[in-house]
């Protein structure tokens, strides 16, 4: 059975470097970075005090919906298509939204019993006062996709993928699958991350995976951790080609089944996901790899090994870069941002650089894109997304013919 | 595309542990005899890092894989799960809170400087939604294609559909799917109360349901289709009609298992069923309470338990998200 093809009809982004994807690209091609000291709240006590944050007029609200709304609108306007409500689906990579940190701590305080243990009766008595500040229709992981479905009149499948750092990529995979299966004809899909806040700084700080130096420099010999970023990246996928120059040709997923935070040292799971996506796309020659490239010592070295294994001799034809040097790690939105980098390479021949990369680690010996963007004719590109817990998701974008 | 069959099921619910007999227990409102209360995990220390939902999923996975005899090739088995918002230990939040106070007031500086150190460093592993899937996958060595779909009902049917497609398309030969959730967590109870669900009859119950899928050979329960639809801003019946159309529902069913979040959803599902499936036997999962991401999976398991030869069953779900889901199963139907 021939599977339906899936075309990229529109893309959009809301990032710390620009309100649209083109304005963001205009900055990215120069090697600019959005990583700055955190000013949204007092970060002086935290182990990492920088982030790629969006200057926002709504710092105390859940920011996922406004970010996604901007990106979706841009992608939708670019797509210029009409679709029956029942044939439109929404697929989004997102984690839980955030209440104000004082509300979270207030909830914890509501249950504080003798000797600092949890008192259920006290919690039941006092928590409602705080719960009133937490609207599940706003902070639930599915709230953003639900709101988009309402705004775009989507009556087809509406899905929220919560797969940590692979969420955005996996949501695009689900959208492509739904189109291939005929469950919808058009999909609004992508991912959002809005994690520059005290609770996430605390959470990732607990894992000791943020850069102590405050620098994101994927594949650099001096890398020491990642920097949190935020934003939304959205795509409109369609079974009809229209004017699309790029198609989503391959999807692949795997689990490391190895460790909660560390990647499989052999990169086996990552390589399997890449191979699956390449095979699904008909094993095209890959000219560009948008790496997961977190700037952590382990990930980058292991990922390069996996890239070499998956591409084999074809690795010599591929340039490699990571979005996280310029825009930080968007967590649930990262995989979707990676898809836009890959789309940019195939659609416009613009291979965006790895900001912050100055001294490539000898163990990461692939053809890096450093400094400024590279002009290159790219027929096919692969975008990687690897999550805590070992879930891997890969997308192959190819020039539509 | 290859036909896909249900190979085995496993469940942990308000009725006890076990999937066989779950359907009949629902009809009779009886507890199951159950499996041993504590199925040992491959790595018992991992328990400390798990949220309640992750533990339920991992325990269920041990039972399922053991029952199915899937001991080899686990690195190629797919795993697709509907997951809720995992919740960490409130004792950990308490420790974090205690260190964040200066003269009784919150201090962000102290929160960063001391709150982190006071917190269990394993807290993060309890909070991420996808870890409900990943803990079990790591313990049991599942390495195939996967997804963690956030679910308040229909997301679990979406995950189920992903798994069916993965096996049908040859992406993997075997897959595990289902859902796990722990809505009795105090914070979730407060959320459900705030949104009015408790007042309208929702009874939160922790639960997990897992289903092993493989290529059908013949005689087993075959998955004929599944579908979800957006229920926001439109009549329920229209949304459900879209979901069952996607599931390729063809009117001829002898059994309908409904999974309503509470009485209002049950009324809606009963009305739809009476209109579209007259004469079908209707069984509700309501006696199990509402397990959010697990409810739809438990309904599929109950349907598989009750489905007799030459019969077709329709599973209908309506969770608190308002999105309907549908699954069509058949046993020995040409």
A207–B95 C-beta distance less than 8 A: no
B227–A389 C-beta distance less than 8 A: no
Q: Where are the beta strands (DSSP E) in A158-275?
A: 158-161, 186-194, 230-238, 246-255
Active site residues of A: 165, 292, 329
Find, among A32, A55, A8, the residue nearest to A340 by Cα.
Answer: A8
Chain A closest-CA separation from residue B280 CA (Å): 27
| Weakest mean pLDDT among B38-42, B151-155, B191-195 | B38-42
Per-residue b or e along B76-112, where b marks 16 or more CB atoms closer than 10 Å to that residue's CB: bbbbbbbbbbbbbbbbbbbbbbebbbeeeebbbeebb
Q: Which of A47, A124, A163 is nearest residue B130 as measured by Cβ atoms? A: A163
**Residue B96 contacts A, CB cutoff 8 Å:** yes
Question: What's the CA gap between B185 and B191, in Å, rounded?
Answer: 10
Is ipTM > 0.85 here? Answer: yes
B134–A260 C-beta distance less than 8 A: yes
Find, among B156, B149, B129, B147, the residue nearest to B295 by Cα.
Answer: B156
State the pLDDT at residue B309.
Answer: 93
Q: Which of A170, A181, A259 is nearest residue B165 as measured by Cβ atoms? A: A181
**Residue B202 contacts A, CB cutoff 8 Å:** no
State the pLDDT at residue A149.
Answer: 96
Torsion of CA B61, B63, B68, B70, to 10 degrees: 60
Chain B closest-CA separation from residue A22 CA (Å): 31
State the pLDDT at residue A135.
Answer: 65
Quote the mean pLDDT of chain B.
90
Confidence of residue B36 (pLDDT cuts 50, 70, 90): low
- Arithmetic mean of pLDDT, B171-198: 91
The model carries a pTM of 0.93
State the pLDDT at residue B248.
Answer: 86
B146–A254 C-beta distance less than 8 A: yes
Per-residue b or e along A128-147, where b marks 16 or more CB atoms closer than 10 Å to that residue's CB: eebbeebbbebbbbbbbbbb
Interface test with B, best of A112, A155, A334 (most B CBs within 10 A): A155
Tell the residue number behind the tokens 């053991």, with chain if given: B66
* Closest residue in chain A to residue B136, using alpha carbons only: A257
B135–A260 C-beta distance less than 8 A: yes
Torsion of CA B15, B21, B22, B27, to 10 degrees: -90
State the pLDDT at residue A205.
Answer: 82
* Closest residue in chain A to residue B231, using alpha carbons only: A155
> Is the predicted pLDDT of residue B37 greater than 60, yes or no?
no
Written as six digits, the tokens of A214 are 């405050």
**A161 chain-B contacts, CB cut-off 8 A:** 147-150
State the pLDDT at residue B267.
Answer: 97
- The CA–CA distances, whole Å, from A352 to A28, B11, B289 equal 6, 48, 52
State the sign of the Cα–Cα–Cα–Cα dihedral A273, A279, A285, A287: negative
Confidence of residue B189 (pLDDT cuts 50, 70, 90): confident
State the pLDDT at residue B33.
Answer: 63
Ranges of residues in chain A with a pLDDT under 70 are 1-2, 57-60, 98, 101, 116, 131-138
Chain A closest-CA separation from residue B24 CA (Å): 32
The secondary structure of B182-208 as a DSSP string is -TTSHHHHHHHHHTTTTTTT--B--EE
Tell me the residues of chain B between 51 and 90 that have a Cβ less than 8 Å away from chain A: 74-75, 79, 83, 85, 90
* Closest residue in chain A to residue B121, using alpha carbons only: A206
């Amino acid at each position: 059975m021939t599977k339906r093809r899936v075309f990229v009809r529109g893309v959009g982004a809301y990032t710390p470097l620009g309100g649209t994807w083109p304005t963001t690209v205009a900055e990215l091609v120069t090697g600019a970075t959005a990583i700055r000291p955190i000013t949204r709240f007092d970060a002086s006590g935290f182990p990492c005090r920088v982030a790629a944050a969006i200057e926002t007029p709504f710092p105390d609200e859940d920011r996922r919906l406004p970010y996604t709304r901007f990106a979706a609108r841009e992608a939708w306007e670019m797509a210029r298509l009409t679709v029956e409500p029942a044939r439109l689906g929404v697929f989004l990579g997102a984690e839980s939204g955030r209440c104000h940190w004082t509300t979270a701590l207030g909830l914890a305080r509501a249950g504080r019993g003798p000797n600092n243990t949890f008192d259920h009766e006290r919690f039941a008595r006092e928590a409602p006062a705080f719960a009133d500040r937490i609207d599940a229709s706003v902070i639930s992981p599915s709230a953003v996709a639900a709101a988009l479905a309402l705004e775009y009149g989507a009556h087809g499948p509406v899905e929220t993928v919560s797969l940590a750092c692979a969420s955005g990529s996996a949501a695009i995979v689900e959208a492509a699958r739904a189109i291939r299966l005929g469950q919808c004809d058009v999909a609004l899909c992508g991912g959002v991350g809005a994690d520059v806040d005290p609770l996430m700084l605390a959470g990732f700080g607990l894992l000791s995976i943020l850069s102590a130096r405050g620098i994101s420099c994927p594949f650099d010999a001096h890398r020491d951790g990642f920097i949190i970023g935020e934003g939304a990246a959205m795509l409109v996928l369609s079974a009809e080609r229209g004017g699309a120059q790029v198609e989503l040709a391959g999807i692949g997923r795997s689990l490391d089944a190895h460790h909660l935070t560390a990647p499989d040292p052999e990169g086996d799971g990552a390589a399997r996901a890449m191979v699956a996506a390449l095979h699904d796309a008909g094993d095209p020659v890959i000219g560009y790899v948008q790496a997961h490239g977190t700037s952590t010592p382990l990930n980058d070295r292991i990922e390069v090994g996996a890239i070499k294994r998956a591409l084999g001799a074809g690795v010599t034809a591929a340039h490699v870069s990571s979005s996280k040097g310029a825009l930080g790690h968007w967590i649930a939105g990262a995989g979707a941002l990676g898809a836009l980098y890959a789309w940019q390479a195939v659609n416009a021949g613009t291979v965006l650089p790895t900001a912050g990369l100055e001294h490539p680690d000898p163990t990461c010996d692939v053809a890096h894109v450093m400094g400024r963007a590279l002009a290159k004719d790219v027929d096919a590109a692969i975008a990687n997304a690897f999550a805590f817990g070992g879930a891997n998701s890969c997308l192959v974008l190819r020039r539509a013919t | 595309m290859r036909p896909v069959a249900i190979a085995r099921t496993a469940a942990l619910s308000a009725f006890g542990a076990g999937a066989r007999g779950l359907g009949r227990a629902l009809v009779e409102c009886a507890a199951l005899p159950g499996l041993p209360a504590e199925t040992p995990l491959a790595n018992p220390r991992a328990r400390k890092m798990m949220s309640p939902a992750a533990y339920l999923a991992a325990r269920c996975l041990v039972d399922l894989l053991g029952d199915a005899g899937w001991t080899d090739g686990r690195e190629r088995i797919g795993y697709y799960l509907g997951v809720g918002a995992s919740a960490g230990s409130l004792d950990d939040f308490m420790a974090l809170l205690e260190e964040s106070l200066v003269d009784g007031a919150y201090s962000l500086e102290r929160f960063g400087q001391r709150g982190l150190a006071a917190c269990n460093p394993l807290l993060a592993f309890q909070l991420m939604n996808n870890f409900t899937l990943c803990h079990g996958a790591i313990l049991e060595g599942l390495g195939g294609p996967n997804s963690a779909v956030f679910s308040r009902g229909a997301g679990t049917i979406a995950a189920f559909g992903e798994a069916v497609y993965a096996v049908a398309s040859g992406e993997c030969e075997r897959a595990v799917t289902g859902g796990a959730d722990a809505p009795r967590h105090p914070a979730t109870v407060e959320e459900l109360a705030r949104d009015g669900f408790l007042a309208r009859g929702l009874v939160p119950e922790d639960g997990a349901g897992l289903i092993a899928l493989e290529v059908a050979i013949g005689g087993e329960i075959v998955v004929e289709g599944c579908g979800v639809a957006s229920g926001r801003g439109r009549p329920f019946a229209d949304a459900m009609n879209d979901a069952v159309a996607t599931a390729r529902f063809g009117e001829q069913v002898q059994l309908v298992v409904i999974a309503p979040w509470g009485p209002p959803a049950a009324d809606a599902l009963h009305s739809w069923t009476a209109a579209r499936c007259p004469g079908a036997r209707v069984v509700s999962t309501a006696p199990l309470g509402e397990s959010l991401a697990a409810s739809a999976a438990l309904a599929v398991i109950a349907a598989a338990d009750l489905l007799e030869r030459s019969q077709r069953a329709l599973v209908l779900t309506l969770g608190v998200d308002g999105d309907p889901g549908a699954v069509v199963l058949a046993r020995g139907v040409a």
